[in-house]
Structure 1
Amino acid sequence: MKVLHLISGGEKGGSRKHVITLLEQFSSEEVTLAVFQEGQLSQEARESGIRTECFRQSSRYDLSVLNKLASFIQKEGFDVLHTHGPRANLFGIYLKKKTGIRWVTTVHSDPSLDFVKSGLKGKIFTTLSMYAVKQMDGYFAVSERFKQNLIKLGINGEKIQTVYNGIQFTNEKATPLPRSEWGLTDQDFVMAMVARLHPIKGHTIVFDAMTAFAEEERPHLLLVGDGPIEEELMNEVKRRQLDRHVHFLGFRSDVDHIYAASDLALLASFSESFPLALLEAANQHVPIITTDVGGVGELIHHGQTGWIVPTKDAKAYEEALREAMNRGDQLKEMGDQLYDFASARFSLEQLAEAHRSVYVKLTDI
């Protein structure tokens, strides 16, 4: 069995981490990664020993790579094409028709929301993306809720396999970064939010919640990630006079050490499947406040290992944050309980075995 994973290559967030950790569970004879651009993803993949091929495009609209990919698939004798993301999904339509390869996808985000705030071009790409998503032979849903979302799009439920994301849980916590790096002390209440700077991630909901606190009691927020609305978010922080309490850290490769230095982890997305960032927080024994998206309810026990609040509800987020701060002496115990539950259920072993079984089933058809 040989599987070709196809992704754009510019990813820096959860989908990048997901692809690398998944492919690490297979031998180099079984899986190959194909990208359209060199970047953090291809570099980390090669460092992990994953065979990685770049089919470079002159622009994202350069379709000359399609025939090169089709020839590569036929020459190498791949049995399954596994696409990740809107561009790879669109190209998968041609590749399946050209080669007859079995085709699966992992939907890392809601395809109807991938191109928000992109104007007319975004509407066109959304239509194309929604069409592509309905053409596959199989689907991986990273939560039961996300499986139901796919069914609502008209996809046959028998083609959808629920596969929970997984990470390599460690026995020991990471060494916390010194808070002095951000001008903070051990007495400050520190929250970490690891998310692309993108409208769908809901950063302004957290900002709104923070403005409800008097300055002397306001918690500090470490924002990890970069993205298209970085300048817009910085302006929002200034407008709300949160400059002293919101710290933009950019893209970081030491997220575990940042979580280890934090009292609380945050997610405020309007839509998600199953965020790896939350598992990374759980690995560092850090309780979580999250919006009710994707499969978070399968990880967080509300009030015991974290808090789940409605999406786009700044007041509910503020109330959860106040409760977390008031229970500061209990947060360590909550984080320990979260680690115990997550490490037992969301392992890399279950992630790899579920994928392997679907690949084998498809190749036996």
Structure 2
Amino acid sequence: MRVLHVNAGLESGGGLTHIINLLRQAQRQDQDFTLLCLAEGPVAQAARQAKLNVQVLGINSRYALTSLRQLVNFINEGNYDIVHTHGARANLFLSLIKRRISAVWCVTVHSDPYLDFAGRGILGKLFTKANLHALKKADCIFAVTQNFAQLLIKKAQLPAAKIHVIYNGIFFHNDDEIPAKYDHEHFNIVNVARAEKVKGQELLLKALKQLDNANVHLYIAGDGSQLASLKELTQKLSLGPQVTFQGFMTQKQLKNLYRRMNLAVLTSYSESFPLVLLEASDNLLPLLSTNVGDIEMMIPDQKHGFVAQIGDVASITAALKAAIATPPKQLVQMAQTEKSYVASNFSLEKQLTAIMQVYQTLIERDS
């Protein structure tokens, strides 16, 4: 089975991690997977660093529809059985050439398609409409949460039969491979997320203000369009001494940062199945998240972490207070309990096996 994964190539967050990790797992299992990036960028760079089979088509504009013939030729001449797209631009391009290729077309929906272009005015609405139209043409859709699957079925009116829920996974390390924690005097919390409105960092800053505890320090790791306004809000709330903006960090830098953290926090308005929380758990950090996506699958009860209500500063503040009040040894036990649970249920091996089973069914149906 020959499989081609296609992405615009400009991802820099969870989408990039998802694609690279999935192809790394496929490589481990000797599967014939190729990654095609429409343009040079972070995804191709990460793929090369991981020594994956990656090609770049060189389409540098989302409007370069004259390059569609290149994409058709690449797919047909490569004799691919499956083409698997990630992201709105790749979805649009495949929807326009679907009748000209012989491969079965699958899509992974990584995020809420109704929010992907939120705040971009008329152009954003057009992109949203184009992406939803593209999804309707796909042979198969992988939704990374049950919530997204129901959204696609009920709101976008896609056939339930072609939607498959497969949760994200990561590579988990043995505990003895995790660097030892640093001693530190403060209660340190880390938020790893793009600085965008959907990630809700302004809620976290307001909750930190309500907490009124100078011993709590927040580290925000991520870059994005809201970074300047978040820094401005930090100063407005007089939280400067308690908040550190780390900017974009590599996985190696994050692992070092995790060594002096007490809690990983995500206060998003919307998420899929957040890889950043799985990665924090792998590094033996207890978790706190708003009730996004299928988070109850990741944090099933109070023994596994803390859950706050979406968009609710008071609820986030209460969850933070509960975490801070938890004895350190109990937090350590919580982190170990959570890691054991997620490593058993959300590994990349399980994720790839489930995807391959769907691929095989589609090929047999199409033959």
TM-score over 0.5 for the pair? yes
1:223-253 superposed Cα distances (whole Å, 9 cap, x missing partner): 1111222222222222222222221111111
* CA distance in structure 1 between the partners assigned to 2:129 and 2:327 by the alignment: 47
* CA distance in structure 1 between the partners assigned to 2:97 and 2:54 by the alignment: 18
Report the 3-state secondary structure (helix = DSSP H, G, I; strand = E; otherwise coil) of the residue aligned with 2:189. Answer: strand
In structure 1, the partner of 2:241 is 244
In structure 2, the partner of 1:182 is none
Are the counterparts in 2 of residues 176 and 259 from structure 1 also a CA contact under 8 Å?
Answer: no
2:38 corresponds, among 36, 39, 53, to 36
In structure 2, the partner of 1:151 is 153
Instruction: Structure 2: state its 5+ residue gaps.
Output: none
* CA distance in structure 1 between the partners assigned to 2:281 and 2:31 by the alignment: 33
Shift of 1:72: 0.6
Are the counterparts in 2 of residues 79 and 102 from structure 1 also a CA contact under 8 Å?
Answer: yes
In structure 2, the partner of 1:194 is 192
Report the 3-state secondary structure (helix = DSSP H, G, I; strand = E; otherwise coil) of the residue aligned with 2:5. Answer: strand
Paired AA for residue 267 in structure 1: L
Are the counterparts in 1 of residues 264 and 286 from structure 2 also a CA contact under 8 Å?
Answer: yes
| Superposition TM-score, scaled by structure 2 size | 0.93
Q: Counterparts in 2 of 1:142-291, with a 5 A limit?
A: 142-152=144-154, 153-172=156-175, 173-175=177-179, 186-214=184-212, 216-217=214-215, 219-253=216-250, 254=252, 255-291=254-290
Are the counterparts in 1 of residues 196 and 226 from structure 2 also a CA contact under 8 Å?
Answer: yes
Are the counterparts in 1 of residues 308 and 315 from structure 2 also a CA contact under 8 Å?
Answer: yes
Q: Mean Cα displacement is larger for which, 152-161 or 315-324?
A: 152-161
Shift of 1:168: 1.1
Are the counterparts in 2 of residues 264 and 287 from structure 1 also a CA contact under 8 Å?
Answer: yes
Q: Percent identity?
A: 35
Distance 1:303-1:91 versus aligned 2 partners, 3 A rule: same
Shift of 1:257: 2.8
Distance 1:119-1:65 versus aligned 2 partners, 3 A rule: same
Q: Mean Cα displacement is larger for which, 322-331 or 145-154?
A: 145-154
* CA distance in structure 2 between the partners assigned to 1:49 and 1:192 by the alignment: 30
* CA distance in structure 1 between the partners assigned to 2:68 and 2:237 by the alignment: 47
Shift of 1:353: 0.5
1:305-337 superposed Cα distances (whole Å, 9 cap, x missing partner): 211121101110000000100114221111011
* CA distance in structure 1 between the partners assigned to 2:230 and 2:66 by the alignment: 37
* CA distance in structure 2 between the partners assigned to 1:59 and 1:176 by the alignment: 45
In structure 1, the partner of 2:10 is 10
Are the counterparts in 2 of residues 177 and 258 from structure 1 also a CA contact under 8 Å?
Answer: no
Report the 3-state secondary structure (helix = DSSP H, G, I; strand = E; otherwise coil) of the residue aligned with 1:26. Answer: helix
| Superposition TM-score, scaled by structure 1 size | 0.93
1:161-216 superposed Cα distances (whole Å, 9 cap, x missing partner): 221211111112532686xxxxxx71101111111111111111101101112253
Paired AA for residue 235 in structure 1: E
In structure 2, the partner of 1:336 is 336
* CA distance in structure 2 between the partners assigned to 1:72 and 1:65 by the alignment: 11
* CA distance in structure 2 between the partners assigned to 1:216 and 1:110 by the alignment: 36
Report the 3-state secondary structure (helix = DSSP H, G, I; strand = E; otherwise coil) of the residue aligned with 1:61. Answer: coil
Are the counterparts in 2 of residues 146 and 295 from structure 1 also a CA contact under 8 Å?
Answer: no
Shift of 1:301: 2.8
Matched, 1:80 2:82: yes
Report the 3-state secondary structure (helix = DSSP H, G, I; strand = E; otherwise coil) of the residue aligned with 2:191. Answer: strand
Are the counterparts in 1 of residues 91 and 107 from structure 2 also a CA contact under 8 Å?
Answer: yes
Distance 1:306-1:177 versus aligned 2 partners, 3 A rule: closer
Report the 3-state secondary structure (helix = DSSP H, G, I; strand = E; otherwise coil) of the residue aligned with 1:24. Answer: helix
Are the counterparts in 2 of residues 301 and 307 from structure 1 also a CA contact under 8 Å?
Answer: no
* CA distance in structure 2 between the partners assigned to 1:26 and 1:343 by the alignment: 18
* CA distance in structure 2 between the partners assigned to 1:297 and 1:260 by the alignment: 26
In structure 2, the partner of 1:359 is 359
Paired AA for residue 311 in structure 1: I
Paired AA for residue 43 in structure 1: Q
Shift of 1:38: 2.2
Shift of 1:139: 1.2
Paired AA for residue 203 in structure 1: Q
* CA distance in structure 2 between the partners assigned to 1:8 and 1:234 by the alignment: 30
